[in-house]
Amino acid sequence: MTPKRLHIAIQKSGRLAERSLDLIGSAGYRLTKSASDLAYSAENAPIDLWCLRDDDIPTFVADGVADLGIVGRNVLAERAAGGGNGLHEVMALGFGRCRLAIATPAGFDYRGPQSLRGLRIATTYPNLLKRFLAESGVDASIVIMRGAVEVAPRLKLADAICDLVSTGATLEANGLVAQTTVLQSEAVLVRATRSVDPELERVADSLLSRFRGVVASQGAKYVMMNAPSSALARITEILPGAGAPTVMTLAGREDLVAVHAVCQESVFWETLEALKEAGASAILVLPIEKMM
């Protein structure tokens, strides 16, 4: 019997494709591409990847054809809002960040969801929009489109849109402005709610803990410095997103300590200057490769 392999569905091409492969690579899996370009195999673990349209990923995972999938939360949420079940989000992956938002023509006097009453709103996310309108107590009609939603107001197909926004540049180019957020999204790891083959559960557990390690270390820095013991409280306050720092004595110095901390947010020059001002010296900021 050939040994079983864990199957992960990822986007074939598009905004999430490369970052999904990077994540799997950073988790230590060495990938070889299949001749067809539609699959990858890990050389050093029983894991295969399937490359699909992102819209197909939830169905593949829910049906058990793939065990795990990487997809935008927006795709998963739209399916769930439409009554689709059998799937859940295991973890957020920290890339592909965007929001599903209501956008209106730049000159429109928008004062919140109430301003949408009686309007036509174009979207490729009808289930999420329907739920948002219901929760806001607003009656409006939904124009379902397959894509290019941002041109709908110009073509007089709709008065407003509900679409994904990251920088807002596409909206701006079409004379639109993002207003209320309907959903915050980023790439997420999904799995089926039914149980995975026990033989593969170990492989999945290991993959999950490696993914957690990679995601946690993204943007994290290891900061080291010397500081007067008297300035410790102030310095801890300045360190961005750090837990309790490690404090060590310095040989032959009663007045100074060494402070080490893992910071989750990016450490900017302003932070370093503030640390110096508080009395810190010999400040080192190091990247973190892995965290478990």
Q: Is 74 in the site for ligand ATP (CB under 6 A)?
A: yes
Contacts of 66 (CB under 8 A, 6+ apart): 7, 8, 9, 50, 57, 60
What gap in Å lies between CA 229 and CA 245, rounded to an integer? 13
Q: Which residues pair with 190 in a beta bridge?
A: 69, 89
Nearer to ligand ATP (CB atom), residue 95 or residue 110: 95
Per-residue binder mask for Zn ion (CB under 5 A), 34-73, x = binder: --------------------xx------------------
Rounded to whole angstroms, what are the CA distances from 274 to 3, 97, 222, 278?
56, 30, 17, 6
44-72 burial, b for 16+ CB within 10 Å, e for fewer?
ebbbbbbbbebebbbbbbbeeebbbbbbb
Nearer to ligand ATP (CB atom), residue 53 or residue 117: 53
Residue in the block written with tokens 């899996």: 29
Q: At its nearest, how many Å lie between Zn ion and the CB of residue 12?
A: 10
In whole angstroms, what separates CA 2 from the centre of its chain?
35
Q: Which residue is nearest to ligand ATP (CB)?
A: 72
Which residues from 179-218 bind Zn ion, rule CB under 5 A? none
Q: At its nearest, how many Å lie between ligand ATP and the CB of residue 163?
A: 8
Nearer to ligand ATP (CB atom), residue 4 or residue 19: 19
Nearer to Zn ion (CB atom), residue 58 or residue 113: 58
Out of 58, 96, 113, 245, point to the residue binding ligand ATP (CB under 6 A): 96
Give 177: exposed, middle or buried? Use CB within 10 Å, 0-12, 13-18, 19+.
middle
Out of 5, 15, 19, 260, point to the residue binding ligand ATP (CB under 6 A): 15
Write out the residues near ligand ATP by the rule CB under 6 A: 11, 14-16, 53-55, 72, 74-75, 96, 98, 164, 166, 185
